[in-house]
Amino acid sequence: MLLEALRLALSTVFRNKLRSFLTVLGIVIGVASVIAMVTVGQGSTAQVQSDVASLGSNLLMIRPGAPGRGPGGGSNDAAPLTVADMDALVRYIPDITAATPGSAKSQTVVFGEMNHTVQISGTDNAFFGIRGWTLAFGRLFSDGEMRIGTPVCILGTTTSEALIGEGNPVGTTIRVGKISCEVIGLLAKREASTFGQDDNDIVVMPLKAFQRRISGNTNVQSISVTFRDGASAEDVTAQIQTLMRERRRLTGDQNDDFNVFDMKQISSMLTGITGVLTGLLSAVAAISLLVGGIGIMNIMLVSVTERTREIGIRMAVGATEAQVLMQFLVEAIVLSLIGGALGILLGLGLGALGSYALNISFLPDYRIIIASFIFSAFVGVVFGYFPARRAARLDPIEALRHQ
């Protein structure tokens, strides 16, 4: 009997394809948004987590500017940092194990016919260790190059491929802004990207070369330090703050004009934000599922009215209340499952697209897919029950007389 009901439901649903499609559209949109949200959400959570891992442990970053602006705070009127600040940090705070200066500017780089806009970083060799980079080809900066600011550069794989193509770029010369720069190394490709940006799209050159030829000043935009295992981030941060206040001659009632960021904390905060966003959007999606369910109920009620005489005929030949109920309930469930299946396909498609656009990995979660399917069936049962019951309770005589 269930099989008959299923067969009947399928033929009814497919007889009126357009109407069935419009009926389930709400469910399709609801399920698709849930799937897309969760897929992209999980991709970006995984992303942030791998960013945390790639940042290395025990990493703090110091930038000029009043606190509360975030790591990308950008230009501000606070006094800039200098290499001397970095040296002082390493010398006076024993917990700090390594420090590297960082300055970056977006520039167009040219090789032959090819040009490419990329972030140019001026730093020292400690940068590679602190940020967990290794070389695929070539070498790091020599002491001489660091000291006199020779224009040499180390490329990320994305940059290298965009300009020079696959393979070893060492020995070629590229133009960075107005200067020529010899390529001396290629970074090993890594999967991680920092908050959606491709890490492998990078040009690194000695800080002095950067300052002299690109930024035109002796400022350092940020100082990254690592501290020894066992020291707490709060403790080291406090030490850095004390030292920096002294160096920047801040008196007791003046606020800090620099920031110390714990990169790990920022990452976990971002994970949290991603989670909240996913939750919010999922709530919106759940509401659209609810609306989708009401859409199904509405059309099922119309269908029961339209098919009153059919129901009367079925009752006359011996259909029980339960059988009529079953027929309409199965039809509602079939509709919502079709909607759910279409929604899952659409959602996965959107999720893949979104992951691609945000440059994060596409991580479909089979549990969410199964849950969506079950939830669709549930929507069918809940919103199909009322119309089905109405059909089952019809008076056979009145139903036969209908129209």
Partner 1 sequence: MTQSGQSVEAPMLELRHLSKIYGVDEAKVFALDDVSLTVRKGEFIAVMGPSGSGKSTAMNILGCLDTPTSGHYLLFGTDVTGLDRDQRALLRRYFLGFIFQGFNLLARTTALENVELPLIYQGIPADERRDRAMEALTKVGLQGRADHRPSELSGGQQQRVAIARAIVTKPGLILADEPTGNLDSARGREIMELLVQLNRDEGLSVLMVTHEPDMADYANRIVTFVDGKIQSDRVRDHHAA
Own/partner pairs, 237-240, CB within 8 angstroms, 24+ separation: 237/60, 237/262, 239/93, 239/95, 240/60, 240/62, 240/89, 240/93, 240/96
Among 17, 229, 318, 367, binds partner 1 (CB under 8 A): 318
The whole-angstrom separation of Cα 74 and Cα 311 is 71
Rule CB under 8 A: say whether 310 interacts with partner 1. yes
Asked whether 175 and 183 are in contact (CB, 8 A), the reply is no
The span of 32-40, 94-102, 252-260, 306-314 binding partner 1 (CB under 8 A) equals 306-314
Q: How far is the CB of 321 from partner 1 (least distance, A)?
A: 6
Q: How far is the CB of 389 from partner 1 (least distance, A)?
A: 13
Among 136, 313, 345, 346, binds partner 1 (CB under 8 A): 313
343-402 residues in contact with partner 1 (CB under 8 A) are: 396-397, 400
Rule CB under 8 A: say whether 322 interacts with partner 1. yes
Rule CB under 8 A: say whether 53 interacts with partner 1. no
Residues 314-324: b if buried by 16+ CB within 10 A, e if exposed: bbeeebeeeeb
Binding mask 69-98 for partner 1 (x = CB under 8 A): ------------------------------
Asked whether 250 and 258 are in contact (CB, 8 A), the reply is no
The rounded Cα 67 to chain-centroid distance in angstroms is: 26
Q: Which amino acid is at 334?
A: V
Binding mask 265-304 for partner 1 (x = CB under 8 A): ----------------------------------------
The span of 96-104, 260-268, 315-323, 371-379 binding partner 1 (CB under 8 A) equals 315-323
Asked whether 205 and 121 are in contact (CB, 8 A), the reply is yes
Q: How many CA atoms lie within 13 A of 61 on its CB side?
A: 25
Residue ranges binding partner 1 (CB under 8 A): 1, 4, 15, 309-310, 312-323, 396-397, 400
